[in-house]
Amino acid sequence: MAAARIWTAALLVIGDEILSGRTQDRNIAQLATWLNAQGIRLAEARVVADDIGQIGAAVNTLRDTHDYLFTTGGIGPTHDDITVDAIAAALGVSVIIHPRARAMLEKHYETRGGTTEARLRMARVPEGAELIENPLSGAPGIRLGNIFILAGIPGVAAQMLEALSGTLEGGQPMLSGTIGCWVPESEVADLLGAVERDHAGCQIGSYPFYKDGRAGANFVVRATDQAALDACLADLAARLTAAGRESFPGGI
């Protein structure tokens, strides 16, 4: 039987504030969770500075190596918001004021001081782009081919993702289950490998921790088929028990 098609996405996080440590990124986890529900796997994430050359190079690489590319950051009203310019340059297209984006901003800011030149920057898109709705702040996201340009503010990015829900082609969502065990992961490494080899379509990740003076680990099993996932979890628990280790469904 042919393997199921796996759809992948990459995330390009843009902003000097992320690299300097002034701002902590929260969009990676948010996007990964949303993508999984769409049947798409977040396969890669990169962070680049507010530099047109760096952004463009990363965009051209990631859009070619994944089904989808998402970017966050750099689409606000200030001079250092250069994501649109960088992506347009990378694709060899012009930057235009999208008429519907302009109308959306004019409506949003009608009672908030009007549409200034700075605010109008948020209506700029690479030529040929479509808009992604954003009911929270009025400024839309942007879609161009397999590139999705989102806001860097997590709450606004979440609204844009919600507008995209159910619109992208994907595969089966990834399911997961967890078993915890008070054991150093090195002592059960061979056991974990054996279980994974015996259950095609399942992956086992080990996440060690140190708590209350004891070493332990949570073992996360992932699969796209519920029956396969359940069988792997049951086998892993049984083998841990046979090895004299107590297991804890759901993790520790």
pLDDT digits (tens, 9 = 90+) for 50-101: 999 999 999 999 999 999 999 999 999 999 999 999 999 999 999 999 999 9
Q: What is the dihedral of CA 155, 160, 94, 87, to 10 degrees?
A: 60
Mean pLDDT computed over 204-231: 95
pLDDT at 137: 79
Cβ contact 148:69 at 8 Å = yes
Whether 16 shows a pLDDT value over 80: the answer reads: yes
Is residue 245 predicted with pLDDT exceeding 60? yes
CATH superfamily name and code, 175-249: ACT domain (3.30.70.260)
Angle of helix 189-198 relative to helix 226-242, nearest 10 degrees, comes to 150
Q: Give ∠ CA 84-89-95 in degrees, rounded to 5.
A: 50
Could you report how far apart the first and last alpha carbons of the chain are, in Å? Answer: 37
Give pTM, 2 decimals: 0.83
pLDDT level of residue 118 (50, 70, 90 thresholds): very high
* CATH homologous superfamily, domain 7-164: MoaB/Mog-like domain (3.40.980.10)
Residue with tokens 């507008």: 163
Domain boundary assignment for the chain: 7-164, 175-249
Which H helix or E strand runs over 195?
Answer: helix 189-198
Is the pLDDT score of 138 beyond 90?
no
User: Do 7-164 and 175-249 have matching folds?
Assistant: no
